[in-house]
Amino acid sequence: MSREAFVNAAILLALLAVPLWALANDEPFTITLATRAAILALAGVGLNVALGLGGLVSLGHAVFFGIGGYAMGVLASHAQSYDPIMEAPFLIEGTKSMPIIWIAALVTSAIAALGIGALSLRTSGVYFIMITLAFGQMAYYFAIGWPAYGGEDGLSIYVRNGFPGLNTLDPIQFFAIAYTLLLLALLLVWRLSKSPFGLALNAARQSAARVETAGIRPYTLRLTAFVISGALTGLAGALFADLNRFVSPSMLSWQTSGEIMVFIILGGVGRLCAPVAGAGMFVLLEHWLGGTGEFWHIWLGAILLFVVLFARGGLIGALAGRGRTDG
C-alpha cells in the first residue's frame, strides 16, 4: 500500500469514526457536521474530475450543486402539495423517494453540464474560468427571479425524503447514506483515473497536442469529464438540500463554486481524497471559527494563502509526500 493510499484510508476512517463516536456519546449535532462534510466532499469529488484529472478550473460548479438541490426541492415540494409537476403531454408527479430524486439530480445536472461544457470548453485558461462563472451567475439570478419555487427565499421541505428500509430522519442513518454515496463516487473516480479514458484525460491536461496526435480529441475527453463531474456535484446538491431540508439560490452562488474549489486546494489538487480532507477541514474551521463572528472567512483565507504559497500539495501532499499517481 502506497503512503497516499494509507493517508486516504486514514481520512476516510476518521470521517466514519467521528459520527460513530458522536452516536455513542449522544451528540447528534456532531453527526450532522460529519454528514455535511461527507456531502460537501462528494461535491468536491465531482469537481475534482474536471479540475484534478482534466485541469479544468471551473468556477461554475455551483450550477450543478444547485440543480441537484432544486431537483430535490421541486420533486419533494410537489409531492408535499400533491400537485403534479406536469400533466400534459404526460404526467410527472413529485416524489419523496431519495433514489428517484438522485437519478433526477444526476440526469438534470449532467444535461446542464453537457450544455455549459459544450460552450465553455471552446475556450481555455482564464476565459474558461470566466465563462463558467458567467453561467453560474446566470443560473443564480434565474433562481432568484423564479417565483414558482420560492425565488430569493428558497424552498423548505418539511420532512426529509425517504430511502427504502431506512429512517432518514435518524442522523446516523442519513450519514450512512451520504458516506456510502461518497465511497461509491470515490471508487468510480479511482477506476476512472486508471482507465484508458483517465489516462488520455490526464495526458490532455499535460499536452493536448500529444493526445490529439494520438487520434483522440481533447475536447471530447474534456466534455465527457465535465459531464461526469457536473453529475456527481449535482448528486451532492440533492443530498445537501435533503440535509438542510431547504434549498435556496445561495446554493447556486459563485461563493459556493469557490468553496467547492477550496476543498480541493486545501486537500491537494489532483489527489483522489483531496475533497474529503478539504471538506473535513472546511467544516471543522467553519464550526470552530464560525463562533468568532461573521468574519471567520478571513482565517479561512489566511489558511488558504498558506497552503497555496507554502504547501501546494495541500493536506494530503503534506502527509503523503509529493507526486501524483504512481501508475
Partner 1 sequence: MDSVLQARTLSKSFGALRACDGVDLDLRTGEIHALIGPNGAGKSTLIKLLAGSLTPDTGSVHIDGTDVTREGVAARARRGIARTFQVSALAMEDTVLQNALLGAIGARRSAFRFLRPALRDEQARMTAEAALARVGLSDAARTPVAQLSHGQRRQLEVAVALAQSPRAFVMDEPMAGLGETGSAEMTALLDGLRHEAPILLVEHDMRAVFALADRISVLVAGAVIASGTPTEIRADEAVRRAYLGEEA
Residues lying near partner 1 in the complex (CB under 8 A) are found at 191-192, 194-200, 202-203, 206-207, 209-217, 220-221, 224, 324, 327
Q: Minimum distance from CB of 227 to partner 1 (Å)?
A: 12
Q: Select 175 or 226, whichever has its Cβ closest to partner 1.
A: 226
> If we measure between CA atoms, which residue out of 99, 91, 100, 94 comes closest to residue 76?
94
What span, in angstroms and rounded, lies between the C-alpha atoms of 275 and 105?
A: 20
Q: Select 25 or 213, whichever has its Cβ closest to partner 1.
A: 213
CA distances, 117 to each of 58, 59, 158, 208 (Å): 10, 12, 35, 17
Q: Select 145 or 321, whichever has its Cβ closest to partner 1.
A: 321
Q: Minimum distance from CB of 53 to partner 1 (Å)?
A: 12
Amino acid, single-letter form, for residue 277 = A
Q: How many CB atoms lie within 10 A of CB 287?
A: 15
Q: Select 66 or 268, whichever has its Cβ closest to partner 1.
A: 268
Q: Minimum distance from CB of 100 to partner 1 (Å)?
A: 24
Residue 71 has phi, psi (to 5 degrees) of -60, -45
Q: Minimum distance from CB of 96 to partner 1 (Å)?
A: 32
> Environment class of residue 309 by beta-carbon count within 10 Å: exposed (0-12), middle (13-18) or buried (19+)?
exposed
* Residue entry with cell 427504502: 164
Q: Minimum distance from CB of 136 to partner 1 (Å)?
A: 27
Q: Are 54 and 131 in contact (CB under 8 A)?
A: no
Q: Minimum distance from CB of 99 to partner 1 (Å)?
A: 22
* Residue entry with cell 481533447: 218
Q: Select 235 or 262, whichever has its Cβ closest to partner 1.
A: 235
For 60-75, the three-class secondary structure string (H helix, E strand, C coil) is CCHHHHHHHHHHHHHH
Q: Select 137 or 224, whichever has its Cβ closest to partner 1.
A: 224
Q: Select 37 or 200, whichever has its Cβ closest to partner 1.
A: 200
* Residues in the chain, total: 327
Residue 324 carries which DSSP code? S
Q: Minimum distance from CB of 41 to partner 1 (Å)?
A: 22
Q: Minimum distance from CB of 322 to partner 1 (Å)?
A: 11
Q: Select 294 or 326, whichever has its Cβ closest to partner 1.
A: 326
What span, in angstroms and rounded, lies between the C-alpha atoms of 221 and 86?
A: 36
In the structure grid, which three cell numbers stand for residue 32, read together? 450532522
What span, in angstroms and rounded, lies between the C-alpha atoms of 224 and 206?
A: 17
Q: Are 65 and 260 in contact (CB under 8 A)?
A: yes
